[in-house]
Amino acid sequence: MKIVILGAGQVGAPVAEQLALEGHDITVVDRDGDKVAALGERLDIQTVTGQAAYPPILEEAGMGAADMVLAVTGTDEVNMVACQMAETLFHTPTKLARLRAPEFLAHPELFNREAFPVDYIISPEQVVTDGIHRLIEHPGSLQVVDFAGGRVRLVGVRADADGPLVGHQLQELRHRIPGVETRVAAIYRRGQALIPEGQTVIEEGDEVFFIAAREHIQSVLRSLRAVEDTVRTVAIVGGGKIGSSLAKALERTPVQVKLIDHNARNAAEVAAGLKNTLVLQGDGADEELLREENIGAMNVFVAVTNDDEANILSSMLAKRMGVGRAVTLINRGAYVDLVQQTGIDVAVSPHQATIGRILAHVRRGDVAMVHSLRRGAAEALEVLAHGDASTSRVIGKRLDEVRLPKGVTIGAIVRDDQVLIAHRHVVIQPEDHVILFLVDKRKIAQVEKLFQVGLGFF
C-alpha cells in the first residue's frame, strides 16, 4: 500500500517506521528538512520537505498514486486542508486526520465531501482521557484496552506478593476464580516475554496481560494483586484538554475530584465548565499546596500538564506523601521506561496510544482495532474472520488447529453478543471477532495474511 504521511513528529515518525517495516511504500512530508532527512537515512522511505497542505508538495510526495494519506502534523488546520487537497486534487481513497481542538471535534458535520473530506479522525486527547479513565475504573492495572465495543478487555497488571495466584501455576486459575472465564495472553518477566502455558508459575513482579469479559475484570485482578479499595478520590494536575475532559468524565461517577492548574485564567475557565470538581489555582509541584489539600490521602493522582518534568516531579511528590496511585503523562518516549523505576505507578504515552488507533485503519485483513502495548513493543489486535471454510485458513478450524506465528496467541473470540475465552476446542466461525496478542509486532504481516481470504496456505 502506498501511504503518504504528513508530519514527521512524535506520531508521524514512529508510524512511518512501523509501516515501512511491514513493507508499505511510505513517503513522509515535513517542513523540517533536517528531521525528514534523518528519517530518510534511517528508514527505507521517501521524504519531501515542505508545507504539508500545499498542492505542489503533495504532488511531489506522490499523492496522485497514494492509497491513503495520514495527516498527523501538529496543526489541525493543516491536517484538515491537506485532506481536502488530497480529495479534490488527487482523489486519494482514504484520508485520516489527527485533530485536537474540541472546537472542531464538536462539529462532526464539518467532515464530509462538501467541506473537509476526512474519513477517519484521531483525537489524541480523547484517546488518552479514555485510557486514564479505564485505569481509574480498574485499580491496580497498568494498561486497560477495549475490544468489540467494550465487551472484552485486555488488562496488564503487575503481580504482587499478596495475589492469591502468585506462586501458582496458570492451570489453577479456573479453580481459584470459579465461574470466571479468562485467559493469560502473555507474561513479561524482567523485561522478557513468556508465552504462558498451563504449567507456567506466576512470580511476584511479573507483568501479566489477561483477557476477559468486561464484567469479570475485577475478579481476575483480585487473583493477581491484593484487593485495592474502590477509587473514591482523584487529584488531577493540569487543566488542559485531557485534565478537564477527565474531570468531566469522572463527574458522572461517585468519584470526588480536585483539579489544580497553574494558570489563574485557565483555572477559572475550567471551573466554569465543571459542576462538582474543586478547581484550584496553583503549582502542582508545590509541596506546601499538596499538603494543604491533603493530596497524600487521595486514591489516585493524575499529572497531565504539557510539561513532562513537572508531571514527573508532582507525581513523585504525591507518592512520597502517600497517594495510593500515580498516573503520569509522558510525551518523551525516552522517559517512559525511566519513570516507572521512580515509584510512579503508570506512565501514559499519548503518542503510543494515538499510533495504535492510526494503525487500525492501515492494517489489512479486516483488522477492526489495534492497541499498542508495553510502550510499543507488543500489540493486541481485533480481527474479523471473513469467508468460509473453503476460502479461509481459520474458519471452521479449532483454535489448536490454527497455524499461528510464534509469539502470537488468541485470547478470545466475540460472536454476536457472546464472549468466548480461547480454549483448544473453540471453532472459529464466519464474522467472529478474534482477539490476538503479539509479543513481537514484527509478526503483524503474518497475522494479516493468515486472516486474508482466498490466498492459500503459506
Which pLDDT does position 374 carry in this prediction?
73
Architecture of domain 233-348: 3-Layer(aba) Sandwich (3.40)
- Annotate 50-72 with b (16+ C-beta within 10 A) or e (fewer): bbbbeeebbeebebeebebbbbb
Which pLDDT does position 364 carry in this prediction?
59
User: 231-250: per-residue pLDDT in tens?
Assistant: 999 999 999 999 999 999 99
User: 42-61: per-residue pLDDT in tens?
Assistant: 999 999 999 999 999 999 99
Which pLDDT does position 401 carry in this prediction?
94
Report d(CA 148, CA 167) in Å as an integer.
32
Residues ≥6 apart with Cβ < 8 Å to 255: 136, 231, 232, 233, 234
* CATH topology agreement for domains 140-224 and 353-451: yes
The third-level CATH classification (topology) of the domain covering 140-224 is Alpha-Beta Plaits (3.30.70)
The answer to whether domain 2-122 has CATH 3.40.50.720 is: yes
Can you say whether the dihedral through the CA atoms of 70, 408, 138, 366 is positive or negative? positive
- pTM (whole model) above 0.95: no
The third-level CATH classification (topology) of the domain covering 353-451 is Alpha-Beta Plaits (3.30.70)
List Cβ<8 Å contacts ≥24 apart for 100-109.
100/76, 100/124, 100/125, 100/241, 101/76, 102/241, 104/76, 104/80
Which pLDDT does position 456 carry in this prediction?
45
Which CA distances in Å does 106 have to 48, 84, 110, 123, 166? 33, 19, 9, 12, 47
Which CA distances in Å does 260 have to 308, 317, 408? 16, 14, 43
The alpha carbon of residue 192 and the mean position of all alpha carbons in its chain are separated, in whole angstroms, by 21
Domain ranges, ordered by start, for the chain? 2-122, 140-224, 233-348, 353-451
Which pLDDT does position 168 carry in this prediction?
87
Task: Flag residues of the chain having pLDDT under 70.
Answer: 226-228, 340, 364-365, 375-376, 454-458
